[in-house]
Amino acid sequence: MQFFLDTGDLNEIKTAHSWGLIDGVTTNPSIVAKTGKDQMTLIREICEIIDGPISAEVIALDAPGMLKEAAELAKINKNVVIKLPMTKDGMIACKKLSADGVKTNVTLIFSANQALLAAKNGATYVSPFIGRLDDVGQTGMDLIAEIRTIFNNYGFETQILAASVRHSEHVKMSALAGADVATIPLKVLEGLFSHPLTKMGLDQFLADHAKSKK
Ligand code: E4P
């Protein structure tokens, strides 16, 4: 399973990268806005830190506009993945970019049928937003399992990128359900290290070691 970091904060990216755990990065317009930078600059800076898939989202709502933005973004680095919305125009752009060998990430996936459409049009990744489904009283994790079954049934190579991950249970359940990737905020990633028994065990070992030296 791959881990992407879901942020535009360069310090966070450097921190997670130093742990050796990060395979890529995802951004969206809200994440970019928080940094106060323009998207092109931010993506260029992220590409200097991480040598892996970096998702950058188009803003245009029409397919020609999406393709124009995608062409500019793709020029930044071979690792740039074009993030497209799950709309009819997004799917037109997805089909064209896939045919041209450009990697795509179809975002705002909230149903298995949406994921199926994206896979049929050659998406590299689909991003089911599990946390936002939980927020409206649905079980986001069920969606990951449904998409996994459908993709396995038909041999789709589109990767399932679990997004809108809010806590460590989401990571574990995504892994159990067979997501190919989880994109995770730094705080959630940090939480994966911890278990109270690990801390207690280490404290005990260090206390015993201190005694044995006397
Ligand atoms: C991923 O690609 C999305 O940008 C992100 O996971 C959305 O997460 P949120 O629902 O916490 O905003």
Q: Which atom of ligand 1 is nearest to the CA of 26?
A: 2
In whole numbers, what is the pLDDT of the chain averaged over residues? 97
| Residue range 2-212, CATH number | 3.20.20.70
So what's the pLDDT on residue 55? 98
pLDDT tens-digit series, residues 121-171? 999 999 999 999 999 999 999 999 999 999 999 999 999 999 999 999 999
Ligand 1 neighbourhood includes 89 CB (under 6 angstroms): no
Residue 62 has pLDDT above 80, yes or no: yes
Q: Which atom of ligand 1 is nearest to the CA of 55?
A: 2
pLDDT tens-digit series, residues 36-54? 999 999 999 999 999 999 9
| 214 band by pLDDT with thresholds 50, 70 and 90 | low
Q: What is the DSSP string of the chain?
A: -EEEEE---HHHHHHHHHTT--SEEE--HHHHHHHTS-HHHHHHHHHHH--S-EEEE---SSHHHHHHHHHHHHHH-TTEEEEEESSHHHHHHHHHHHHTT--EEEEEE-SHHHHHHHHHTT-SEEEEBHHHHHHTTS-HHHHHHHHHHHHHHHT--PEEEEBS--SHHHHHHHHHHT-SEEEE-HHHHHHTT--HHHHHHHHHHHHHHHHHT-
Ligand 1 neighbourhood includes 57 CB (under 6 angstroms): no
Ligand 1 neighbourhood includes 7 CB (under 6 angstroms): no
Q: Is 83 a catalytic residue?
A: yes
pLDDT tens-digit series, residues 97-111? 999 999 999 999 999
